[in-house]
Structure 1
Amino acid sequence: MKQPLPYWFLCLPLALLSWSCSEKKATPSRKALNEMNLKAGKVIICGLPDAQFGTVRFPIACPGPAQESFGLGLKLLHSFEYEEAEKVFAGIIRTQPTCAMAYWGVAMSNFHPLWAPPTEAELQKGAKAVAIARALPQLPAREADYLATIAAFYQDWPTVDHRTRCLRFEQATEQLAQKYPDDKEATVFYALALTAAAAPTDTTFTKQKKAGRILAALYPDNLNHPGIVHYLIHAYDTPTLAVRALPAARRYAAVAPSSAHAQHMPSHIFTRLGLWTENIESNLASVAAAQCYAQQAGIKGHWDEELHGLDYLMYAYLQKGENRLARQQWDYLQTIQQVEPLTFKVAYSFAAIPARYLLENRNWPEAATLQSHATDFPWEKFPWQKAIIHFARLMGAAHTHNRPAAQAEVQELRRLQALLLQQKDAYKATQVEIQLTSGLAWLDMQDGKPEQALRRMRAAADLEDRTEKPPVTPGEVLPARELLGDMLLQLHRPNEALAAYEEDLRRHPNRFNGLYGAGLAAGQIGNEAKANRYYQQLLTQASGSTRPELSAARRFLAVHSQPTAASDSPVRYTSYAAHPASR
């Protein structure tokens, strides 16, 4: 067992309020409480009424109604309803300012481990909450340890980077879980900390697998625990692990039906497995809940979570070939002028929704001139998201043989990549590098340099395979390996093209263009069984679509349709939606 945190470490955050460890105060000053600027107001519920957020039991030392309120705050926290959770914990503080765990709740509400790093204001609030709580006299040992754990994250926040502090939080929660092996919440928060501390470049998913094992062991006896169900989805939100989270994904919305986030989060797994109908149902509910929240919260305009759901809807509609419904999402987006708060999710949606529609449909002329309707948006604060627009323009310009326009987009992507490197955000800089390399590869194709084009396109695909997608997106606006398949088909190399499409379908199951490309390549090499399978799967998936690719698939099947041989059974990545057990 690891040694407990040293005494100096436990005391250090108190310096934020100029208190020493020996100066325990019975009641925090009104000035200290006011300086936290705690959220207030009625808890907003935009799912089913009666605050249905699952079942959690966490006894605390605070008397009276604080216990019930703390339980509600904790359930909100487990469903990432951070603003509403803070309201609940703040309400406890206002009536019982000596309730230490309410301050812990405020600090956790401003951490949000799997989202963007806290803002400076959130860090200040969380650090002050921890300092006030730990200055209270006669803290129960367990509550003091919980406070020490979150203090590990807030310690030295002005000078220590976010990832380092996340790793410290992981280590502290591990010690907490080891010290209190019968405390379910300590174990659940350790699993969350593991996933939060995982490096996005680790394709072995070591921490996520460990978190998943911990949560999976708890799941059978805690089917209504919102944290266990929710964090299982996050732990397994990767292509190779997603099927393990399918039961949790299908359960989470029912466990916490009053949570807007619980309506959306299952769609992460549905996207990973290519379950587009379930994805759409999940995000229609999510968007409706977000619209309700904006109205009840008095937000002027739209809540950022609504745009996040719209991006997932756009992606899913495109994979079903539902261009009319996909276009409706873009048209609706263009009516949105004001969003609160202006987060990374807003920037991503403003850029990705129109880019997806044009690139997925290979509408190169319009892609070459794509403009965001949010012209007054602070794009320079979001260079990675801004790069998506320039990638769409680059691909459009390359395919329409507009060399000057393409070169301008290359220069802009290089500038944005350099800016991200300057900001020490190597992960997002790599995402831009993949887009830049892909665009340069297609420029090489237009310049009559096929071998150089293939080298670049393979390099982009290999680099993308080595990095995991960020949670904000359902998927790349165009997967690099799928683009490699397109290039190989254009170069009349269908065997290699089929291999590229099939490899990409393992990472992005049931993508419309991947299925069509695989069918086309298989048909060209005379593998009628595979071509039949991919085309039939596409027609089943996109039965309501009018895209021209489906006419080509039907023509092929009309001539070459034949029973699928037993030895040519559906491969693993196409079997989830069809298997009765998955329903």
Structure 2
Amino acid sequence: MYRWSRALSWLLFAASSAMAGEVHDHGAPEKLGDVSFAVSCDPAEQQPFNRAIALLHSFAYAAAEEAFNEIATKDPHCAMAYWGLAMVHFHPVWSPPLPPESFGQAQQSMLHAAQLGAKTARETGFIRAGGLLFQATPALKPSQRTEAYEQAMAKVAADNPSDIESQVFYALALLSNASPVDKTHAKQKQAVAILEPLFRTHPNHPGLAHYLIHACDSQEMAQQGLQAARAYAKIAPSAPHALHMPSHIFTRLGLWDDSIQSNLASKQSAHRQGDAMGELHAMDYLVYAYIQEGKDDDAERVIEELNSMPSLDMNEFAIAYAATVMPIRMMVERGRWNDAAQAVEAANAPPSIRAIAIWSKGMGLARSGHPGDADAQAARLHQIEKQLRDSGDAYWATQTSILADEVSAWSLQGRGDSDRARFLLQGAADQEDSLEKRPVTPGPVLPAREQLASLLALQGNPAAASDAYAAALIQAPGRRGALMGKAHVDQAIH
């Protein structure tokens, strides 16, 4: 069934020299796995179309766009090529899912696909669903667009029950609407119910493995995603994102050696392909894993590499996040509070990213004997929280509120107000536990419940601290700070 793309690596090898001088967000892989997405275009373009879909399934958006564009050039009447040119601008599990800077371009491509008209009912369904994502209704919020898309893809999947790609794209549509406040993971479980049986019968399909990992990227479901995590890098070994993605599951399970190997490979591949975002994303997960294994020298070397990287686009959310958080992870996890107080915020970074640097300053000040100065940083965090909430970004507004409460709690503790400090940090921990993390991060820089355990230990309550550390380790197995903290307070108890 997948014979169309078995020659994928040969096609990519031939094309690689033409692409070598360009920058791709997830590169131009040489091997992407087996994909068969039948289209009614020129038969000569079927194999290139499979290749373009395989690129899309590994989030190689720039390379996929080039591939779809080449198909459209060779077959100007191929409506699905224009569908693909639009869909490369839909990033379903990233933030934002519909980048505003390319929305107009995507809208024009999808409109052209609709005007050309598809030759099959299945293709018409894909184009109609994509049209709902990019419809010309400015008042629609991104969530309204993705919800309409999901409903339309549900019909495509129902109308084409034996077509793998209809099922895979529907499962991804479900994941695009998975709420970070839904701890039952209803959408993720619905997607897994579609993906798992298909993965058993089509074990070399990149989208099945990739989206299973995203669906299972939670404490509850991580074990269920381990098989896909073990497989994905082997399915698409030349894709930097495929090399990295297994570490989402490895991180959830505390498999630090596996995460390190995954991200070393991804980092090197992304660097070779000029993929700055992919490289930095892997570097952040790598620093996190090194810290948990106590390999501080290795973590510091990665941070030194970060500092030597020129001209980072701090307007790009994922780049700004990784570049900001890596050195802060090192300082805060190791209790280097004077260093943490010197954290530098990039003026042109998104406000939710600047909040992390402000939090580092506040924590550093509060925990090095300057609670008054820390309060000023907490106030700045609340200002950013309001800015984010007013803009409709409820998720990052809540995360920023948690950061502000953490700073305030430690400031109160520094003043000797232990009860209020404990109450505030307990609330921050409960709120943080009620939210899922975004894929951009391996986890909070310093989990609030782990902080609560440290506070309880400092206040002379080792039994409560032990319980809090145990709860923190359920949320994030294998974290070094929680393991060492629990061992210390348990020793005090006994």
In which range does the TM-score fall when normalised by the shorter chain?
Answer: over 0.9
Match of 1:509 in 2: 477
Paired amino acid for 2:477 = P
Paired with 2:18 and 2:95, the residues of 1 have a C-alpha distance of 25
Partner of 1:335 in structure 2?
A: 308
1:222 matched residue in structure 2: 202
Deviation track 1:49-92 (CA, whole Å, cap 9, x = no partner) reads 98310001121111232101000000001111011011111001
Q: What amino acid maps onto 1:364 in structure 2?
A: W
Gaps of 5+ in 2: 1-16
Residues 309, 432 of structure 1: alpha-carbon distance in 2 compared, 3 angstrom cutoff: same
For normalisation by structure 1, the TM-score amounts to 0.79
2: CA distance, partners of 1:476 / 1:104: 37
Pairing 1:560-571 to 2, within 5 Å after superposition:
none
Alignment match of 2:87 (pick from 105, 108, 121): 108
User: Is the Cα–Cα contact under 8 Å of residues 331 and 339 in structure 2 kept in the other structure?
Assistant: yes
Which of 165, 173, 177 aligns to 1:197? It is 177
What are the equivalent positions in structure 2 for 1:106-505 lying under 5 Å apart? 106-117=85-96, 118-137=98-117, 139-294=119-274, 303-339=276-312, 342-372=315-345, 375=346, 378-379=348-349, 382-505=350-473
Aligned to 1:52: 31
CA gap 1:428/1:495 in 2 versus in 1, 3 angstroms: same
8 Å CA contact 1:47, 1:289 repeated in 2: no
Measured at CA, do residues 459 and 47 of structure 1 come closer, stay the same or move farther in structure 2, by a change above 3 Å? closer
Q: Equivalents in 1 of 2:35, 2:386: separation in Å?
A: 46
Give, as a single letter, the amino acid of the residue that structure 2 aligns with 1:333: L
CA distance in 2, matches of 1:504, 1:223: 35
**Alignment-mate amino acid for residue 299 of structure 2:** A
Task: String of CA shifts for 1:8-46, please: whole Å, max 9, x gaps.
Answer: xxxxxxxxxxxxxxxxxxxxxxxxxxxxxxxx9638799
Amino acid at match of 1:63: D
**Preserved contact between residue 46 and residue 260 of structure 1 (Cα < 8 Å):** no
Amino acid in the other structure paired with 1:314: V
Q: Retained in 2: the 8 A contact 1:46–1:259?
A: no
1:228 Cα offset (Å): 0.5
Measured after TM superposition, the shift of residue 164 of structure 1 is 1.0
Alpha-carbon distance between aligned partners in 2 of 1:508 and 1:360, rounded to the nearest angstrom: 14
The corresponding residue for 2:45 is 66
Report how far residue 156 of structure 1 moved.
3.2
CA contact (8 A) 2:406 2:428 kept: yes
- The code of the aligned residue for 1:180 comes to N
Distance apart, 1:293 and its partner CA: 1.2
Measured in 2, the distance between the counterparts of 1:368 and 1:121 equals: 35
The count of residues paired between Structure 1 and Structure 2 equals: 475
Residue pair 1:304, 1:342 contacting (<8 A) in 2 also: no
Question: 1:252·1:266 contact (CA, 8 Å) conserved in 2?
Answer: yes
In structure 1, what is the Cα distance between the partners aligned to 2:111 and 2:460?
66
Q: CA deviation at 1:337?
A: 2.7
Q: Is the 8 A contact 2:453 2:466 kept in 1?
A: yes
Residue 405 of structure 1, CA deviation? 2.0
Deviation at 1:340, TM superposition (A): 5.2
SS at match of 1:65: helix
Contact 1:47 / 1:257 at 8 angstroms: preserved in 2? no
Percent of paired sites with the same residue: 38
Query: Is the contact between residue 79 and residue 113 of structure 2 (CA under 8 Å) also seen in structure 1?
Result: yes
157-166 or 211-220: which moved more? Answer: 157-166
TM-score by length of 2: 0.93
Letter in 2 for 1:56: V
Q: How far apart, in 1, do the equivalents of 2:469 and 2:77 lie?
A: 60
CA contact (8 A) 2:31 2:237 kept: yes
Cα RMSD, aligned residues only: 1.9
Question: Structure 1 regions of 5+ residues with no counterpart?
Answer: 1-39, 295-301, 527-583
CA deviation after TM superposition for structure 1 residue 437, in Å:
0.7
Distance 2:237 2:93 in 1: 21
What residue in structure 2 maps to residue 520 of structure 1?
A: 488
